Amino acid sequence: MSIRIAAFTGEIPRLIPRLLPNSAAQAAENTKLENGAIMPVRRGRYAHHLDEPAQAIYLHGDEWLSWSVPVNVVPAPIAENRLYITGDGVPKVRAAGSTYPLALQRPLTPPAAALVSGSPDPTLQQTILYAYTWVTALDEESEPSPVSNPLLWSPGLDVQVTGFVVPAADRAINRMRIYRSQTSALGETQLYFIAERAVGITPFVDVIADHPFAEPLASLDYNTPPDGLAGLIALPNGIMAAFEGKKLYFSEPYKPHAWPEKYILTVDFPIMGLGVFGSAVAVLTQGQPYVVAGTSPDTMSMEKLEVNLPCVSARGIVDLGASIAYPSTDGLVVISQSGANTITRNLITRDDWLRMNPYSFVAGSFNGRYLTCYAFTDGDGIERTGMLIIDLTGETPFITRGSDSADAMFSDTAGGALYLLKNGEDIYEWDAISTSYGEMYWRSKRFVLPADTNFGAILIEGESAMTPEQRAASKALAQAIREANEALIDGDVTGGTFPSMPLGLVTFAGSLLSPVDEFEPLFLVTVYADGKPVADIVDMNLTCRLPGGFLARTWEVEVRGNQLVTAISIGASPSELAAG
């Protein structure tokens, strides 16, 4: 009789320890289970310190941006390097280091039109109208002003247009576009562009022959977004979507400042957040979720999913690529082309899920996994935090846990990195490839044997988690830090009078000295028999004897350290293990 554990996986809390699959864990903390082996998560890489506490972060090029409230930030669906932001007051656009309200107001007063001289020819006369728009330095065009007074005009006469007003200064408006009407043979009147000039109140003289008709007015329905617009996301084809209350809004394609009211869709419940998969929008509400699909704002169709799976945390919504994950009262829900599924149904009971307080979830994605931090109250009434990692990459999902906490997360798509904001001010890269491995903890299922048994030998197979190149790089980095510290000490510039610098900015008591983080191998396997520890194993790839003199029916194995473990075998004797 023997026990062999390989192709390691994580926790399935819904099952009691004896019913777990042989490769599953009762507990898996700071443990990567990506290739069948047990491997530790790397330590976080310190990336940045914020000057003020924040609840949202965003890496824009080399600059870290932060906000004191949760926000949604989306890059511009156009060539310019802009950001669009909701959640921090009114919707905003950030360009070239400046931030403006996203709403571009229209001119509220109509222009006045009059003939410069002369009278129209009664046989050729027609009625014309004028309007104008404002245009920003970002090349955004507003809705038009109200049209001017109707003016009887005939060819050969010039028109003077007056009544222009100066726009507010908070929107970088630097020019205006002037439009004149034309009526077709069918009686349809439309405004056409005739001139562009700098913003001003001076009259405009329309010498008709010098200002032929150009393109028709495009911004007639460029309504401004409501002040409460939230949950901004980007769709394909240059479209953005957001919501206010029960209303779902879409922007004009490639015109993120324009949110035509004719595109609004309304759902039955207040919207909590949005997600995108393919060309579809997952609309996550306080009731049933919806899926909205289409290739343009005017062709969007909406479907209500007949499942009672409300979203309970907007900050827990995560884009997993081909699907959207969000926390509900019943567990973690994934919406994809196949509908909505509670993928934690077979992982964790509803009661245990609710004990983790999914209403507090702050989540991100890393390497295809859903990673969330949460706050909860334990059985003693003490406020605590936790980190849950739900692995959805294989056929059977499982859970691991982390020892970190985060006030916010940011997934850097370009760099493939996940950043955690800790204590509101310090940003760390999660599982950074440039840092050394931390210490993991993994405890096996409870193997219950048909009869009391005494195992005589154990073999733990594995190898160093670090490659020779990583080990060399770690030593080189440690040596460089030592040399830099020595230079600071020799120059008496350590800044080391406590507390001369704010805590958290530096590593040691206000000192500018950096800690030496050199990898040291750690490895310990503890064998439990009937719940009691009976042996500690510190040797890898070596068959070790287990103590005798007792019998036990339940056996468990606990792994700690920073080494890679590929298999664990327990048998009656060394010869049995050698025989496989």
pLDDT at 190 over 70: yes
- Of the candidates 125, 248, 106, the one whose C-alpha atom is nearest the C-alpha of residue 239 is 248
Name the strand (E) or helix (H) holding 469. helix 468-490
CA dist 228 and 243 (Å) reads 8
Please return the burial class of 478, using the count of CB atoms within 10 Å of its CB with bins 0-12, 13-18 and 19+: middle
For 309, the 3-state DSSP assignment is coil
- Of the candidates 428, 430, 437, 515, the one whose C-alpha atom is nearest the C-alpha of residue 470 is 437
pLDDT at 499 over 50: no
For residues 507 and 30, the model is more confident at 30
Segment 211-231, tens digit of pLDDT: 999 999 999 999 999 999 999
Segment 530-562, tens digit of pLDDT: 999 999 999 999 999 999 999 999 999 999 999
pLDDT at 494 over 80: no
Helices (H), 169-317: none
Domains, the chain: 1-39+439-466+519-580 (2.60.120), 112-210 (no CATH), 467-518 (no CATH)
Segment 414-443, tens digit of pLDDT: 888 999 999 999 999 999 988 889 999 999
CA dist 340 and 271 (Å) reads 16
For 516, the 3-state DSSP assignment is coil
Q: Indicate the pLDDT class of residue 129, thresholds 50, 70 and 90.
A: very high
CA dist 232 and 77 (Å) reads 13
pLDDT recorded at residue 509: 39
pLDDT recorded at residue 219: 96
| Averaged confidence pLDDT in the chain | 90
pLDDT recorded at residue 511: 45
pLDDT at 130 over 90: yes
Q: Indicate the pLDDT class of residue 383, thresholds 50, 70 and 90.
A: confident
CA dist 382 and 542 (Å) reads 44
Segment 93-113, tens digit of pLDDT: 999 889 999 999 999 999 999
Angle at CA of residue 173, ends 169 and 176, nearest 5°: 130
Please return the burial class of 402, using the count of CB atoms within 10 Å of its CB with bins 0-12, 13-18 and 19+: buried
pLDDT at 463 over 70: yes
CA dist 506 and 98 (Å) reads 31
Q: Where are the beta strands (DSSP E) in 392-474?
A: 398-402, 408-412, 417-422, 426-429, 440-444, 447-453, 457-463
pLDDT recorded at residue 580: 65
Beta strand pairing call for 532-537 and 159-162: unpaired
Percentage, residues of the chain above pLDDT 70: 91
